[in-house]
Amino acid sequence: MSSQQEPSTAKKGLFRIVFSRTGIILLLLVVQIAMMAGTVFYLHEYIHYVYGATIILQVVTLIYLINAEGNPAFKMTWILCILAVPVFGVVFYIFVKMQVGTRYMQNRLAALKIETDPYMQQDTDVIDAIWASKSANANLAYYLSNQLGFPTYRNTDVKYFPLGEYKFKAMIQELRKAKKYIFMEYFIVEKGYMWGSILQILREKVKEGVEVRFMYDGMCAISMLPYRYPARLRKYGIKCKMSNKVRPFLSTTQNNRDHRKICVIDGKVGFAGGINLGDEYINRKVRFGHWKDTAVMLKGDAVQSLTMIFLQMWNADERKAENYKRYLTPKRKELRRELGYVIPYADSPFDNENVGEEVYFHILNHAKKYVHIMTPYLILDNEMLTTLKRAAKSGIEVIIIMPHIPDKWYAFAVAKTYYRELIEGGVQIYEYQPGFVHAKVFVSDDDTATVGTINLDYRSLYLHFENGVFIYNNSEIDRIERDFQQTLAKCHKVTLIEVRKRTMLTKIIGQVLRLFAPLM
């Protein structure tokens, strides 16, 4: 790409500030400084009244905050922010909580859930069977279906991909077979070999009469794709849109990114996992050493949930009704018991249900032998920290594989502040020596696993749109565990001695950043 086409590093940095939470924070800090200066120089005769009004507004905001629903960690961070810098803290909190756009999205998604509910009905025979197999997983299935509308399926083949390049190869093969429609939803799309190969197939399929819908997160417009890129794809016949567009300083929807990775082909084949559409995810471009990522391919009944999850997000900003029936596929009549149970699920920041975290809690709380975890980030709330330690103290082998080469230094600094407490609690932490782990995997007891997009951090667990696949009693779980062991062989075990040898500056930076982790 020529220099005229490629934004400079400085320009990218400026875009990220103007369009990000950082921009809002800097703007409000300037407002706070200006108000303080104005009070001193122009309102010195009324300073007591100004100070009194600020205190009243601060107290009212704190009372509302303490009594509002939400995770205590978020409340503590907001309280600290409001007490430390009252004007900035109060204005920023009101700004975040009074967004019209997020309220509209919340109401719209609730309506779409009702619209799609007839196509997400639970087969009672499946629930009866899972009760007879493992009652704890039946409880989870009941919660996901009755509370959230994500049914449990049988008759679904699962194929696990231990690296992005394997998933990419399989996805290319399946895309070429498409006859009716292709739905794709991704967090990151970046020009290169991977996206170029996929785009070529999508253009060919449009010419064959295949309906193609492509959706990606609006943050890509900052430095990865041109802002009007959807219009370019629409010229090819591809229905394309950005979800959660970002606008400078005007909205906080950048807090609620579409972090999902979904591909559905003809309602028969579906892909999910951590792999975005960029060359680093298939190790054609080296950014942080070897990129370790994972995904699953589903074939069979469970693909229907991925179809509906995609259509719910696609229609969030649409006004016309969707004909959902045309995208359904008949379920298999024969029962293949060896395929076990599959539950595709999604998480939304607007439904007051922490679905991803609940699935992780379920695995940790019902393990008998081990829970093995791969995650790129480790920024934990008190509930997750306590659950991990309690499982380890109960004799469960809890191992977490983290990157050795991080993609975000500040996130890694915060992650390391949890190492001592986790290790002392019996949790084993390893770092992947060849490079960066981007996988989001929990596997337990040779019979249960989940693979998806959900990191062990506040953003994934509370703020983003996410998705995953819960798998039980499927032979592919053995491959997931074997991949974990093969990855573990390339890792270094972190010891308490190493943790204590960290420099004082590193410790201080990590501890300070941890205070603001829920807002990072």
Instruction: Choose between 503 and 71: higher pLDDT.
Output: 503
Which CATH number describes the domain made up of 123-340? 3.30.870.10
pLDDT over 60 (residue 8):
no
Assigned token pair, 352: 């007051």
- The full set of domain ranges for the chain reads 9-98, 123-340, 355-519
Per-residue pLDDT tens digits for 410-458: 888 899 999 999 999 999 999 999 999 999 999 999 999 999 999 999 8
**How large is the C-alpha radius of gyration of the chain?**
24
Same fold yes or no, 123-340 and 355-519: yes
Cα angle for residues 164, 300, 121 (degrees, 5° grid): 115
Q: What is the pLDDT of residue 249?
A: 46
Q: What is the pLDDT of residue 44?
A: 61
Lowest mean pLDDT among 31-45, 113-127, 296-310, 337-351: 31-45
CATH superfamily of 355-519: Endonuclease Chain A (3.30.870.10)
Q: What is the pLDDT of residue 219?
A: 81
CA distances from 397 to 67, 226, 517 (A): 38, 47, 27
Give, rounded to a whole angstrom, the gap between the first and last alpha carbons of the chain: 32
Lowest mean pLDDT among 142-151, 256-265, 418-427, 505-514: 505-514
Q: What is the pLDDT of residue 29?
A: 54
Rounded-to-integer distance, Cα 272 and Cα 108, Å:
24
Q: What is the pTM of this model?
A: 0.86
Contacts of 510 (CB under 8 A, 6+ apart): 413, 414, 416, 417
Lowest mean pLDDT among 28-32, 44-48, 319-323: 28-32
Assigned token pair, 244: 């959660």
Q: What is the pLDDT of residue 481?
A: 98
Lowest mean pLDDT among 41-45, 243-247, 466-470, 499-503: 41-45
Contacts of 490 (CB under 8 A, 6+ apart): 432, 433, 434
Per-residue pLDDT tens digits for 259-297: 999 999 999 999 999 999 999 999 999 999 999 999 999
Average pLDDT over residues 21-42: 56
Cα angle for residues 19, 22, 25 (degrees, 5° grid): 115
- Banded model confidence at residue 320, pLDDT cuts 50, 70, 90: confident
Contacts of 421 (CB under 8 A, 6+ apart): 385, 389
Give me the helices (H) in 186-299, please: 193-207, 220-223, 229-235
pLDDT over 80 (residue 302):
yes
Residue in 211, 260, 262 with CA at minimum distance from that of residue 239: 211
pLDDT over 80 (residue 47):
no
Per-residue pLDDT tens digits for 195-246: 999 999 999 999 999 999 999 998 887 778 888 999 999 999 999 999 877 6
> For the stretch 382-412, what's the b/e string if a residue is b when 16 or more beta carbons lie within 10 angstroms of its beta carbon?
eebbebbbebbeeebebbbbbbbbbbeeebb
Q: What is the pLDDT of residue 171?
A: 98
What does residue 399 show for φ and ψ, rounded to 5 degrees? Answer: -125, 130
What does residue 468 show for φ and ψ, rounded to 5 degrees? Answer: -155, 175
Residue given tokens 């809890």 in the structure block: 398
Rounded-to-integer distance, Cα 463 and Cα 484, Å:
28
What does residue 91 show for φ and ψ, rounded to 5 degrees? Answer: -65, -40
Q: What is the pLDDT of residue 519?
A: 62
CA distances from 88 to 58, 252, 254, 433 (A): 11, 15, 19, 42
Residue in 463, 443, 468 with CA at minimum distance from that of residue 453: 468
Q: What is the pLDDT of residue 50?
A: 65
Q: What is the pLDDT of residue 248?
A: 52
Lowest mean pLDDT among 97-101, 301-305, 369-373, 427-431: 97-101
Rounded-to-integer distance, Cα 469 and Cα 306, Å:
10
Average pLDDT over residues 17-26: 48
pLDDT over 60 (residue 391):
yes
Assigned token pair, 276: 């975005």
- Banded model confidence at residue 11, pLDDT cuts 50, 70, 90: very low
